[in-house]
Amino acid sequence: MVFHFLRRLILFTLFYSFVAAQTQDQVNAASKFLQKDGVQGHTNNWAVLVCSSRYWFNYRHMANTLGMYRTVKRLGIPDSNIIVMLADDVSCNARNKFPATVYSNNRRSIDLYGENIEVDYRGYEVTVENFLRLLTGRVDPSLPRSKRLLTDEKSNIFVYMTGHGGDEFLKFQDNEEISAFDIADAFEQMWQKKRYHEIFFMIDTCQANTMYSKFYSPNILATGSSKLGESSYSHDHDSDVGVAVIDRFTHLVLSHLEGINKTSQATMQQLFDAYNFDHLRSTAGVRTDLFQRDPSKVLLTDFFGGVAQAEVVQSDDVDDARDFARLASSAKPSVVADSQSGKQQKVSTTWMEMGSDRLGELGRNSYGLSRVWASVGLIFGTYAVTRFLF
Amino acid sequence: MRWSTTLTWLALPYLYPNNYINLANAQGNGPPSGSKAQSGQPASSEGGPPPRELKDVATELLLLRPLKDGKVATHFEFEYLTRNGVPRDPSTLGSEDEDQHYEFFPLSMGQILREYAVAELHLTLNTGRWRYDTWGSPENPAVASGAELWVWMADGGPVSVEERWKGLTNALAGLFCASLSSLSGSRTTSPLHSFYPEGQLPLYFETTEPENNTTSRSGYTLHHAVLPSEAICTENLTPFIKLLPCKSYAGVAELLNPHKLFGGWWYGMGVHATWHDGETDSIDGGTEVPIDPSKLGMGSKARAGKYTEGAHNDPKAKPPPPQAQVIKQARGVKLKLTVGAVRDPVEGYRGQTAETSQWTLENLFGKNVTKLCPVTSKADVRVLLPSKEHKGPVGTDAKAAVPSLLLSPLPVAKYHPHAGSSKGDQSWDVVRNKKAKVANSLTPLTLTRSLRGYDQTRGGFSIAISNHLGSDVDAWYVESVPWIIRPYLSTLHVESVEPLPSPSTSNNGGAQQAFTSPNNASTVLDLKKLRYVPPSESKGEDSRTKPTLLEIPLRIPARSVVRVSLEFEKVFLRYTEHPPDAQRGWEIPGGVLVPTSVVPAVQGEGTRRLSRVYTAPLLADLATPDFSMPYNVIILSGALVALLFGMLFNMLVRRYVLVKS
């Protein structure tokens, strides 16, 4: 009787493993279908640019933020996808000798304020609460669209913060602080709510690297201007404006970005390699352990630009596509880089990804099939053995 | 002509040379919009019948007025009208809105007005203080410092007025990049007597209300809010320009250069949405509507399907002033977008020394008008010519009394100094060559308000209202004080009524009656009509968010100054209630004087309503704590607790025994 039960049990277990192997394959296929183009793809870019300092003497923090604003806008992120938080109005400040302008260098060559700018949160609205609400999307229903971060699981978000900070905190308007834990938890909530695909976090403040040390959510690449115990310094001083006009770290990043355009193939690693202690007078840091891709393979335009991956599959000739994909994947990226327009590059890279995915899928399919047959064999084998034994 | 003797004016290749007008007309045959064909046909009363029914009308205007102190007041006005449009009936808010079609009317504004069923809206964002004494009356009376929003909305829908008001402030905050979201809670008041609609309010339902219109204007409520600390800069002008059909690429909007506008002594922008019923006439471009004093404040009787203020229904009260251009107000929703700035033309002019007051459009705005916006049916540039003597009676508006120079070919007056100017050059400019004396353009009413007391717990307002007219003026003085200040109504009194020193330029010496007797004060302030809305009866949380509203009825005698004083208590704030820059102080919005009296119109016929006057905001100094105090308290109490705990712990745990040696 006992043996009979045991036999039943073994049979049941084996049968279950057979079913499980099959359903696992279905789940794989389904998730593959839903995910469409693997890890790489983001379909939209967002930027959250925060200046948390008030008062005229913090002009440089406003200039930092507006410099980033100008750059991401130049690289293709539209105003609707940029959330700018400025804690004070320096451009139309009565102390500003040059009305409606903000300059980031003492030659006053580039007016960062320009004639076309949209600031979404300003003055007293720049608070820790509003910032965290913006990130997590827990906002009042009547809040206008321009003040919301309407991201999804395919959004790459560039988060830039600047202000006065310290060990694991950043001051907002000299009145309240946001801690490293707050931002880390907000990012985790965003991840759980599928509000981002990848985040690039950049912060320019004293002891900035402590601000990203508490992150624990996946797909976050982070960089900061100075390590624990170090200050971040300003770069240019304009005697007509009367105050320092930009910070060293932001100045370095902006001048690095000034050389690239929308179709650039420059990578994050190149930016990180440009960090230079002699210039910054602080140790800029990078955190890559949460990030799944290699920074040397991540384009700068993945975060600073509005360049999105596009799906270009024609459903009627999938076979042709597969062939083309094989060709493309066999041809090395040098060919891709040689092609003239950015559009073509994008197309070919998409093929490449798709090709590799499809091959992988095929491989997985045959593996799954063998697992099914193996479990069938096991069932019959065990049945025979138990029959023989008992 | 007078102006040619006092000044030399030069219009270099003047506006819109003939070939360009033809070009504009030729373009009108093109498909994109119906009203291009109308570009040569302003909507004037004696104009021929329009070729076909127009939906929208777009007009633009630039007004330049030299001021006494050498500055120039510039005023841009863009008007868009949806013909036959009617504000949405709030009872339909629950269901799908009927389709709207806008040609030039900005879609985003139209959507907001429909979404919240707004009948009339006025939003202004201004920086600086308008100096009534040197600059005269502003082109648009809405010159309150900071942000001012007032809206007429009808009640009676599925969505409450309060909800719609909150949604509206948020929507406008998003559209214009301004921090208006904070208006809805802590700044909103509903004055009943003082503010009146500038257009008309549609009646959606038959009202059987009794005659006491003091509680509501047939289901309409006014929400009024001021945020004095709001700044205005390029980020507000950017979305504003995006509302214009030609953006800033053509027409007078080309001159909207933020670097010049925001360097002015005063600058601001406004959005005014009104509804007009086509049956009535009104003066173009002015907010001074003819009014019948006997009907003020009332008027629910003779209402046939619309709410109208005063004399609109009274045919004899509205003879058109010959100077003002009278057009048939078309029925529909009108949106008026304004930008104003007071610029000093001397500063920053290329290498010119300061003694010349020569100015051109180029140095005022850093740009020039090069193209005509093809969809506008009327584009005017007017320069109000300064004159040495002030014409007209003292106190009338300078802009109406002084001749103006129209620098555009439309509609009638053309200015052609060089009729055969170069054809290819389509830009033009105005140059003012000689230094000219500009007469002091007195405003009929001036108003100052100052803060008394240096105490951090108590203080007072002292308000001085001067009437420069030869007749008494009835007015409402409106004070909406934020909750941080609690006025004592018992201290409200008229301190003195003094005659004005007789102005040297007075042309009317007969009006020098003395109003010195103090017993006159009782007729000045009628406390029975006073309206006082305290934040809340209870001591609840409302009393720490809602503002106090005071509507004070005043009768200001002719040629005299009335001084009113009011004392208040400053609330002691909690630690978390302070703004980030608490040491700066709290801004108290400016008071408003809304006259209800009428004065004879400029040319002697008809009457017009005086426009309202604002005071500058004030900074109240409240007791601010040492913000590091909580940390000191924590450290001190922490030390105390540690000390006590250590002692207790030692006593409980440690055993004291004698150690035998």
Q: Does A120 reach chain B within 8 Å, measured CB to CB?
A: yes
B525 secondary structure, DSSP code? B
Q: A171: which chain B residues are within 8 Å (Cβ-Cβ)?
A: none
Tens of pLDDT, residue by residue over A41-79, are 888 999 999 999 999 999 999 999 999 999 999 999 999
B507 secondary structure, DSSP code? S
Which of A257-266, A315-324, B643-652 is the least confident region? A315-324
pLDDT at B580: 87
Q: Tell me if the bond preceding B66 is cis, omega within 30° of 0.
A: no
**Residue of chain B with shortest Cα separation from A125:** B179
Q: B248: which chain A residues are within 8 Å (Cβ-Cβ)?
A: 115
Tens of pLDDT, residue by residue over B551-590, are 999 999 888 999 999 999 998 888 888 888 888 888 899 9
pLDDT at B40: 37
To the nearest whole Å, the CA of B7 is away from the closest chain A CA by 32
pLDDT at B661: 78
Which of A59-63, A170-174, B27-31, B260-264 is the least confident region? B27-31
Q: Does A382 reach chain B within 8 Å, measured CB to CB?
A: no
pLDDT at A203: 95
The strand ranges marked E within B166-219 are 188-189, 201-202
A237: annotated active-site residue = no
Report the C-alpha gap between B144 and B139 in whole angstroms.
13
pLDDT at B440: 59
To the nearest whole Å, the CA of A128 is away from the closest chain B CA by 12
For A100, the closest of B177, B179, B233 (CB atoms) is: B233
Taking an 8 Å cut-off on Cβ atoms, the answer to whether A122 and B179 are in contact is: yes
Tens of pLDDT, residue by residue over B254-273, are 889 999 899 889 999 999 99
> A237: helix, coil or strand?
strand
The CB-side HSE value for A189 (13 A sphere, CA atoms) comes to 13
Which of A252-256, B17-21, B119-123, B642-646 is the least confident region? B17-21
Q: B257: which chain A residues are within 8 Å (Cβ-Cβ)?
A: 115
pLDDT at A139: 92
pLDDT at B508: 44
A149 in Cβ contact with A135 (< 8 Å): yes
Q: Confidence band (pLDDT; 50, 70, 90) for B12? A: very low
Q: Confidence band (pLDDT; 50, 70, 90) for B526? A: confident
The mean of the pLDDT values for chain A is 82
CA B137 to chain centroid, in Å, comes to 12
Mean pLDDT of B641-649: 96
The mean of the pLDDT values for chain B is 72
Q: Confidence band (pLDDT; 50, 70, 90) for A31? A: low
pLDDT at A333: 39
For A101, the closest of B229, B259, B261 (CB atoms) is: B259
Place of tokens 């010049």: B260
Residue B517 has pLDDT above 50, yes or no: no
> A170: helix, coil or strand?
strand
Q: How far is CA B5 from CA A296, B387, B415, in A?
A: 76, 10, 16
Q: Which domains does chain B have, with CATH numbers?
A: 9-205+214-307+325-432 (no CATH), 445-620 (2.60.40)
pLDDT at B640: 97
B50 in Cβ contact with B41 (< 8 Å): yes
Q: A173: which chain B residues are within 8 Å (Cβ-Cβ)?
A: 580-581
The Cα diameter of chain A in Å comes to 98
Percentage of the residues of chain B whose pLDDT score is greater than 90: 25
Tokens of B204: 């959606």
Which positions 211-230 of B are in contact with A (Cβ < 8 Å)? Answer: 229-230
Taking an 8 Å cut-off on Cβ atoms, the answer to whether A92 and B181 are in contact is: no
Report the C-alpha gap between B375 and B39 in whole angstroms.
7
Report the C-alpha gap between B343 and B42 in whole angstroms.
30
Q: Does A280 reach chain B within 8 Å, measured CB to CB?
A: no
Q: Does A259 reach chain B within 8 Å, measured CB to CB?
A: no
Which positions 470-489 of B are in contact with A (Cβ < 8 Å)? Answer: none
More confident residue, B511 or A244: A244
pLDDT at B28: 33
The second-level CATH assignment, the architecture, of A43-304 is 3-Layer(aba) Sandwich (3.40)
Closest Cα partner for B343 from B447, B265, B256, B451?
Answer: B265
Taking an 8 Å cut-off on Cβ atoms, the answer to whether B238 and A143 are in contact is: no
Residue B399 has pLDDT above 50, yes or no: no
A89 in Cβ contact with A117 (< 8 Å): no
Taking an 8 Å cut-off on Cβ atoms, the answer to whether B235 and A118 are in contact is: yes
Mean pLDDT of B219-225: 89
Tokens of A267: 């990578």
Tens of pLDDT, residue by residue over A178-204, are 999 999 999 999 999 999 999 999 999
Q: Does B259 reach chain A within 8 Å, measured CB to CB?
A: yes
Tokens of B28: 């009108």
pLDDT at A114: 86
Q: Does A57 reach chain B within 8 Å, measured CB to CB?
A: no
Q: B111: which chain A residues are within 8 Å (Cβ-Cβ)?
A: none
Tens of pLDDT, residue by residue over B410-462, are 332 233 333 333 333 334 445 554 455 565 567 888 899 999 988 888 999 99
Q: Does B348 reach chain A within 8 Å, measured CB to CB?
A: no
Helix residue ranges per DSSP H, chain A: 2-35, 59-74, 128-136, 180-192, 248-258, 268-273, 277-280, 301-304, 318-330, 333-338, 342-389
Q: A187-218 burial, b if ≥16 CB within 10 A, otherwise e?
A: bbbbbeeebbbbbbbbbbbbbbbbbbbebebe
More confident residue, A311 or A16: A16
Taking an 8 Å cut-off on Cβ atoms, the answer to whether B580 and A89 are in contact is: no
Residue B122 has pLDDT above 50, yes or no: yes
Burial zone of B642 (CB within 10 Å; 0-12 exposed, 13-18 middle, 19+ buried): exposed
Which positions 311-370 of A are in contact with B (Cβ < 8 Å)? Answer: none
The CB-side HSE value for B118 (13 A sphere, CA atoms) comes to 33
To the nearest whole Å, the CA of B646 is away from the closest chain A CA by 31
Inter-chain CB pairs, A–B, below 8 Å? 89
> A104: helix, coil or strand?
coil
For B581, the closest of A54, A113, A147 (CB atoms) is: A54
Mean pLDDT of B142-154: 92
To the nearest whole Å, the CA of A76 is away from the closest chain B CA by 19
pLDDT at B176: 93
pLDDT at A142: 87
Tens of pLDDT, residue by residue over B352-368, are 444 555 677 777 888 88
Q: Confidence band (pLDDT; 50, 70, 90) for B14? A: very low
Report the C-alpha gap between A364 and A348 in whole angstroms.
24
Q: Does B297 reach chain A within 8 Å, measured CB to CB?
A: no
Provide the residue type at A296 as one letter. Answer: S
pLDDT at B84: 81
Residue A218 has pLDDT above 60, yes or no: yes
Mean pLDDT of A301-311: 79
Provide the residue type at B547 as one letter. Answer: P
Residue B611 has pLDDT above 50, yes or no: yes
For A120, the closest of B177, B233, B260 (CB atoms) is: B177
A92: annotated active-site residue = no
Mean pLDDT of B142-156: 91
pLDDT at A109: 86
Report the C-alpha gap between B459 and B548 in whole angstroms.
16
Tokens of B589: 């919005």
Encode B421-452 in three state secondary structure: CCCCCCCCEEEECCCCCCCCCCCCEEEEEEEE
For B171, the closest of A101, A119, A144 (CB atoms) is: A144
B30 in Cβ contact with B220 (< 8 Å): no
Candidates A92, A101, A125, A173: best to mutate against B (most CBs of B within 10 A) is A92
Which positions 103-142 of B are in contact with A (Cβ < 8 Å)? Answer: 127
pLDDT at B456: 85
Provide the residue type at B551 as one letter. Answer: E
Taking an 8 Å cut-off on Cβ atoms, the answer to whether A124 and B231 are in contact is: no
Residue B292 has pLDDT above 80, yes or no: no
**Residue of chain B with shortest Cα separation from A83:** B177
Q: Confidence band (pLDDT; 50, 70, 90) for B607? A: low
Taking an 8 Å cut-off on Cβ atoms, the answer to whether B239 and A143 are in contact is: no
Report the C-alpha gap between B74 and B342 in whole angstroms.
6
**Residue of chain A with shortest Cα separation from B239:** A118
Report the C-alpha gap between B85 and B111 in whole angstroms.
13
B380 secondary structure, DSSP code? E
pLDDT at B370: 80
Where in the sequence of chain A do the CATH 3.40.50.1460 domains occur?
43-304
Taking an 8 Å cut-off on Cβ atoms, the answer to whether A115 and B234 are in contact is: yes
pLDDT at B638: 96
Residue B404 has pLDDT above 50, yes or no: yes
Which among A51, A61, A206, A235 is annotated as catalytic? A206
Phi/psi of residue B254, each to 5°? -60, -25
> B474: helix, coil or strand?
strand
Q: Confidence band (pLDDT; 50, 70, 90) for B543? A: confident
Which among A164, A197, A251, A256 is annotated as catalytic? A164
CA A355 to chain centroid, in Å, comes to 24
Tell me what ipTM this predicted complex has.
Answer: 0.76
Which of B240-249, B524-533, B560-569, B633-642 is the least confident region? B524-533
Encode B55-124 in three state secondary structure: CEEEEEEEEEEECCCCCEEEEEEEEEEEECCCCCCHHHCCCCCCCCCCCCCCHHHHHHHHHCCEEEEEEE
Percentage of the residues of chain A whose pLDDT score is greater than 90: 53
What crossing angle do the helices spanning A342-389 and A2-35 adopt, rounded to 10°? 170
Place of tokens 């009339």: B120
Taking an 8 Å cut-off on Cβ atoms, the answer to whether B231 and A92 are in contact is: yes
Mean pLDDT of A357-369: 50
Candidates A57, A66, A115: best to mutate against B (most CBs of B within 10 A) is A115
Which of A30-39, B61-70, B307-316 is the least confident region? B307-316
More confident residue, A156 or B311: A156
pLDDT at B168: 93
Tens of pLDDT, residue by residue over B451-497, are 998 888 899 999 999 988 888 889 999 999 888 888 998 999 888 88
pLDDT at B576: 82
Residue B616 has pLDDT above 70, yes or no: yes
Q: Confidence band (pLDDT; 50, 70, 90) for B229? A: confident
